[in-house]
Structure 1
């Protein structure tokens, strides 16, 4: 049954590659370009998953326990993770699917991410990973905190999402010229036509929902998750212990790579692209920060930002906030400040020349 993880991951990798579903770019564009479309797309995926998963729970088909909320680890880890994804050029899932496109920088970031995740979870930094666990509260579930049903919270999320999406859709369209289609029918839709981020988000939400029963059928009581499975890949390669480390989640992340590769080859977007030395160092450093932060926070932009938010947990929503703050902080130092310095130098040079 673990092979269903490969299928689920391949679907996710295919959809994310063709739809360019990149949360790193989405969070960054909220700050730099005041473009919220990808964030609204994330809300669509969260809403669909939340509705579906809690319906499955209502019918007794799957189980979920929110557990305790390790608030300090979530806050600090998510902020560090947000910084890391800007330096790496992609979040955890984005790094896997960009690696499937042949982007060598993503391979480098993935190496740093997997290595640090493994070190934090089972290596020399386990004491660091566990150091913030005492700073927790017993209730992670938002509805349980207020002593009411989860459905009012899901309804509020759905209403907010619908309002934001409708407002976005009603905005004047910007005409983007494109070449005449070279393919017909399904080939054109799958591999050539530009996918709308909201359509992509619906598909991502449905795949995230599908992951729950498929994963729980193997005894893994969770949905999509990237950090621990990524660490498990490296842990298996080092130890050879398949019983301990090969599971549904490992097949999931390998499937993301496979699905993205198929999508990139089909759309003729696959090619090996090597980064320059500076980008390579930044990618590896970003991957290290991603692994460190996600391990502390208990999840990445998918595990916390998509799944735990849908489960209406404090961990998910607070993690999402501090992830975004981390990306904005890194974006300022990586993109805004260098441009500001450059413009000042240019202005100073102009004044000196004309004086």
Structure 2
């Protein structure tokens, strides 16, 4: 049954690559361009996922896991992760699908992200990680705190996200002239046509719903997740222990690489691109901090900001907020501050004419 993880991961990788679904860009745009279109797309994923999760839970097909809030870990880890994804040039899923496109910088970020996730979860930094995450407060999810049905929260979320989506859909559209299509029919739609962010978000949300029963059937009571499967993949490669580490989640992340590579190759977007030394160092550092932050927070932009939020857990929404703040801080340092420095730099002097002979 774990092969369903590989299949679903391949579909997810294909959709992420073709839809250019970048959570880092969604968060970063809020601070750099003041644009919330892609953030709205991410919220659509959460809303769709939430409807499906509670429907499956109501039918008894899956069971939700609840745990007390590791407050310090979520705040610290969420901020570190948000800061790191700007340095790395992508969040966990973004790094996976861009690695499948041939970006060497993403390869470097992915290696250090998975490596440091393993170091934090099962390696020398495990005592530190557990020590921080053991500091909990007695809060689990919003519906439990207020003693209300989760469907009330689902309805409020759907209404709010629907209003935001309507706002963006009603904005005037820019008409951009492009080349005539080279493909036709389904091939054109899948491999050539630009996908709308909201359509991509709905598909990603549906994939997140399907992940629950498929993962449960393989003995894993969880939905989509990237950090722990990445840690398990590293441990699997190092130890060769298939019994302990080879599971549905590991097959999922491998599938994302496969699916994104297929999408990039079929659409003509695959190309090995080697970064400059500066970007390579930043990618390596960002990937390492991603692994540390995701381990402390208990998940990345998928496990926390998409899966946990859909269940209205405090861990999910609090980590979402601090990931967003971390991204804003990094955007100010690496993007906004860099632009201001360039704008304020004096213009280069014209070269002096040679002296007369």
TM-score by length of 1: 0.97
Distance in structure 2 (CA, Å) of the matches to 1:106 and 1:338: 22
> In 1, distance between residues paired with 2:145 and 2:45?
24
Structure 1 residues 262-282: Cα deviation after superposition (integer angstroms, max 9, x where no partner): 100110001111111111100
Match of 2:133, SS? coil
Moved over 4 A (4+): none
In structure 1, the residue matched to 2:124 is 124
**Residue 353 of structure 1 aligns with which residue?**
none
Give the Cα separation in 1 of the matches to 2:135 and 2:128. Answer: 13
Deviations 1:117-140 (A, max 9, x none): 010001110111012123212331
How many pairs does the alignment contain? 350
Task: After TM superposition, list the pairs within 5 Å mapping 1:32-111 onto structure 2.
Answer: 32-111=32-111
CA distance in 2, matches of 1:231, 1:65: 21
Deviations 1:286-337 (A, max 9, x none): 0000000000000000100110000111111111110011011001110111
Q: Which residue of 2 aligns with 1:170?
A: 170
Show structure 1 runs of 5+ residues with no match.
351-355
Residue matched to 2:216: 216
- Superposition pairs of residues 154-193 of structure 1, within 5 angstroms: 154-193=154-193
Are 1:115 and 2:115 an aligned pair?
yes
Q: Which runs of 5+ in 2 are unaligned?
A: 350-357
Alignment of 1:14-33 (within 5 A): 14-33=14-33
Identify the residue that residue 288 of structure 1 maps to in structure 2: 288
Per mean C-alpha deviation after superposition, the further-off stretch among 134-143 and 34-43 is 134-143
Q: TM-score, normalised by structure 2?
A: 0.96
Distance in 2 of aligned mates of 1:330 and 1:155: 34
Residue correspondence of structure 1 range 271-286 to structure 2 within 5 A: 271-286=271-286
Q: What SS does the aligned partner of 1:90 have?
A: coil
Superposed, 1:185-204 pairs within 5 Å as 185-204=185-204
Deviation at 1:147, TM superposition (A): 1.2
Matched, 1:302 2:302: yes
C-alpha displacement of 1:111: 0.7
- 8 Å Cα contact 2:26/2:42 also seen in 1: no
CA RMSD of aligned residues (A): 1.2
| 1:340 Cα deviation from its structure 2 partner | 1.4
